[in-house]
């Protein structure tokens, strides 16, 4: 006589496995790494629209914004090191924490920040920038767009590219002097003439609002293929950006 197969135990094991997998994913996302997608061009050329990246949650410790929906009532920040000038950071927008922004830290607490004729000044000193070859991108209509590109050097020696698509006299290329309050940071996009950042509606970013430091890109596509256009995927994927570190 054949024994009846115990399907109940098998189903229960499957459910437990799925639950454990979900819990592990939640723990990793909360305390270690969280994935983000880049929806805008404010950080071009460092980050492109369609880049998917991992943000390290432990780099700056934890605040209530480190947890899903901000449900854990953590006051301030715990177990955290301060961001360094030049870090690329995901943060909750002050005044509307439902929005995630990603920008570069250029101003630390106590700094004086000002843009004069397209040049970034920190504590009264203009930053060095070196003109390099134009940044070239392809338009949707097949045309080629060239944008003026520089390598800017921050006071701590960090070098990073910036774009000046409208020259040095665009609306945010001349600003008042900003005094960064204690516990806050001044954030700017690398695409200087196409970035809503601390010069505009973002304002100073509290340390508490920071989600984590952008570490590396794990996937990237240029948006030219819909999810169902499988035959276009190979040409739409930016293979050279996989596991590309974010500097």
> Do the beta carbons of residue 187 and residue 197 sit within 8 Å?
yes
**For residue range 166-207, what is the model confidence (pLDDT) as tens digits?**
999 999 999 999 999 999 999 999 999 999 999 999 999 999
| Cβ atoms < 10 Å from Cβ of 82 | 15
Say whether pLDDT at 59 is over 90. Answer: no
Least confident window among 23-37, 40-54, 100-114? 23-37
Q: What percent of the chain has pLDDT over 90?
A: 68
Residue 78 is predicted with a pLDDT of: 76
Distance CA 119, CA 165 (A): 14
Q: Where are the domains of the chain?
A: 18-245
Residue 63 is predicted with a pLDDT of: 83
User: What band does 62 get if pLDDT is binned at 50, 70 and 90?
Assistant: confident
Tell how strand 51-56 and strand 210-220 pair up: antiparallel
Residue 72 is predicted with a pLDDT of: 61
Distance CA 54, CA 57 (A): 9
Q: Residue 129's closest CA among 192, 72, 206, 211? A: 192
Residue 5 annotated as catalytic: no
Q: Which residues contact 32 (CB under 8 A, 6 or more apart)?
A: 56, 57, 58
Say whether pLDDT at 7 is over 90. Answer: no
Residue 103 annotated as catalytic: yes
**For residue range 120-157, what is the model confidence (pLDDT) as tens digits?**
999 999 999 999 999 998 776 667 889 999 999 999 99
**Quick one: average pLDDT of 5-20?**
65
Most confident of the ranges 60-69, 169-178, 227-236: 169-178
Q: Which CATH number fits domain 18-245: 2.10.109.10, 3.40.50.720, 3.40.50.10540, 1.20.1740.10?
A: 2.10.109.10
Residue 9 is predicted with a pLDDT of: 60
64 versus 69: which is more confidently predicted?
64
pTM score above 0.95: no
Say whether pLDDT at 24 is over 80. Answer: no
Out of 63, 66, 103, 195, the active site residue is 103
Residue 33 is predicted with a pLDDT of: 80
């Amino acid at each position: 006589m054949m024994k009846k197969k115990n399907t109940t135990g098998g189903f229960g094991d499957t459910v437990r496995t799925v639950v454990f997998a979900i819990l592990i994913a939640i723990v990793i996302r909360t305390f270690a790494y969280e994935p983000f997608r880049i929806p805008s061009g404010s950080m071009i050329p460092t980050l492109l629209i369609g880049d998917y990246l991992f943000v390290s949650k432990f780099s700056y410790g934890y605040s209530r914004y480190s947890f899903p929906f901000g449900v854990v009532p953590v006051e301030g920040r715990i177990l955290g090191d301060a961001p360094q000038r030049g870090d690329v950071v995901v943060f909750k927008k002050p005044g509307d924490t439902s929005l995630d922004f990603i920008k570069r830290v250029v101003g630390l607490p106590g700094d004086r920040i000002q843009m004069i004729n397209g040049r970034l000044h920190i504590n009264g000193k203009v930053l060095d920038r070196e003109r390099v070859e134009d940044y070239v991108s392809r338009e949707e209509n097949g045309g080629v767009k060239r944008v003026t590109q520089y390598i800017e050097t921050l006071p701590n020696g960090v070098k990073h590219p910036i774009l000046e698509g409208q020259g040095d006299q665009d609306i945010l290329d001349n600003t008042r002097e900003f005094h960064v309050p204690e516990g806050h940071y001044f954030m700017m996009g690398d695409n200087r003439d196409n970035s809503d950042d601390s010069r505009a509606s973002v304002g100073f970013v509290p340390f508490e609002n920071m989600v984590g430091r952008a570490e590396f890109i794990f996937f990237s596509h240029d948006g030219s293929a819909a999810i169902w256009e499988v035959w276009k995927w190979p040409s739409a994927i930016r293979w050279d950006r996989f596991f590309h570190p974010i500097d």
